Amino acid sequence: MARVTAGVGCSHVPAIGAAMDTGITQEPYWKPIFEGFKKSREWMKDQKPDVIFLVYNDHCTAFDASCIPTFALGCAAEFKPADEGWGPRPVPVVKNHQKLASHIAQSLILDEFDLTIMNEMEVDHGLTVPLSVMYGDVGQDEDWPALVIPLCVNVVQYPPPTGNRCYNLGKAVRRAIDTFDEDLNVMIFGTGGMSHQLQYKRAGLINKEWDTKFLDLMTKDPVAASQITHLEYLRETGSEGIEMVMWLIMRGALDEDVTEIYRHYHVPASNTAVGHIILENKV
Amino acid sequence: MADKEYDDIPGTFVFDADRSREGYNLNQFCISLRLQVNRDAFNADENAYLDAYPMTAEQREAVVKRDWNLLLELGGNIYYTAKFAANEGINFQNLAGKMTGMGVEAYREMMLNGGRPIDGNRTKSEWKED
Ligand SMILES: [Fe+2]
């Protein structure tokens, strides 16, 4: 049977991808950010996931303002890196585990999560940057070491789904994966955040204390994290910090009791606090 | 319209359904610049290109003037306006330098020093704004 072994929380700042793509990761500004992913890359090599269920948001790339699905599951065979306005990232095309994706789609809808199903989709930095930081440089002509099932969450137009809804969706994703009849090591990534505001006069807001508390809750008290209100995210973590609801989908798919393997936090990457956590299910 | 609970956060537009409605054509223009073929067309003849997007006169003027804050005030969303900014050679961080009125250098310096602190930046009353 397929089994969920671990979850990864991770920021997906576009400038981090750009730093890798332009080979400046050893510059003093970027070095501490990438040092913090060294251990994670080794861990990925040890764990060798077959499939990554990757929760992220599209940043007005695949979806324009004409269609804004709250939850959209990628069911296509593959997903090309998109041109977001500065040319596509030079990273591999993302390949899906299509059978598992369609099993999850069916299972979630019967579990009363009314998904949008995407049979054509390009993916933006929200999806490719977490793969890059966790795997390191992978050439455009190579393959990502794992198959990837993308789940897009609307966090651009207010309101995003509540933290509670996301947490429960994570539980439903887990139920779906647990009933898939193929021996697969599945990891789940929740991406975005941490505190940041990209817009208007309060841009640059960072709340390290709040972020640290959130990371603590991810490990020890996900139910409390699931009850954080939208107003609290907006006020305390910046208008774009609300992306962190996506981490709750990841957390919901894990056991209640997890082992925190690793954590990394750094300010700044461009406008953003970079946060990262690795949680393993106990066997 | 009833007050919204997030209206007292200073220096922030929450891109809700009302803003999305007001900014629709403006945002659709911005996202069109995601693609090189459209960037080329816009850069070749800005006026003709803008005619295809039925935005308000005010929104169109904000586009022409590259008034990044006014674009947000008129229903633009940062992920959309950032695609317009990218066409002007402005990345997210430098765009923030402009929107905050701090300038690129001072903004970058603030971020290197840990960012804008949360204390004093939670409510409009702390900013003496209403
Ligand atoms: Fe994001």
Residue A230: both structure tokens together: 């939208």
pLDDT for B2 equals 62
Nearest CA in chain A to B82: A85
pLDDT for A86 equals 83
Phi, psi of A202 (to 5 degrees): -95, 10
**How is residue A274 annotated by DSSP?**
E
Residue A136: count other Cβ atoms within 10 Å of its Cβ. Answer: 16
pLDDT for B130 equals 58
Express each pLDDT in A78-136 by its tens digit. Answer: 999 999 988 899 999 999 999 999 999 999 999 999 999 999 999 999 999 999 999 99
Nearest CA in chain A to B99: A200
pLDDT for A228 equals 98
Q: Are A267 and A273 in contact (CB under 8 A)?
A: yes
Q: Quote the minimal CA–CA distance from B84 to chain A in Å.
A: 8
Q: Are A123 and A94 in contact (CB under 8 A)?
A: yes
Q: What is the mean pLDDT of residues A169-184?
A: 98
Q: With CB atoms and an 8 Å threshold, state whether A200 touches B13.
A: yes
Tell how far CA A266 is from the center of its chain: 17
Q: Are A129 and A13 in contact (CB under 8 A)?
A: yes
Cβ contacts (< 8 Å) between A29 and chain B: which residues? 112
- Residue A32, pLDDT > 60, answer yes
CA–CA dist A155, A254 (Å, integer): 22
Q: With CB atoms and an 8 Å threshold, state whether B115 touches A65.
A: no
pTM assigned to the model: 0.97
Confirm whether A230 is a catalytic residue: no
Express each pLDDT in A46-68 by its tens digit. Answer: 999 999 999 999 999 999 999 99
CA–CA dist B11, B128 (Å, integer): 11
DSSP character string of A152-215: EE--SSSPPPPHHHHHHHHHHHHHHHHT--S--EEEEEEE--SSB--SGGGTTB--HHHHHHHH
- Residue A265, pLDDT > 80, answer yes
**What ipTM describes this predicted complex?**
0.96
Express each pLDDT in B34-91 by its tens digit. Answer: 999 999 999 999 999 999 999 999 999 999 999 999 999 999 999 999 999 999 999 9
Q: Is the dihedral of CA A99, A104, A109, A113 positive or negative?
A: negative
Q: Quote the minimal CA–CA distance from A56 to chain B in Å.
A: 15
Q: Which of A97, A125, A264, A276 is catalytic?
A: A125
Q: With CB atoms and an 8 Å threshold, state whether B31 touches A84.
A: no
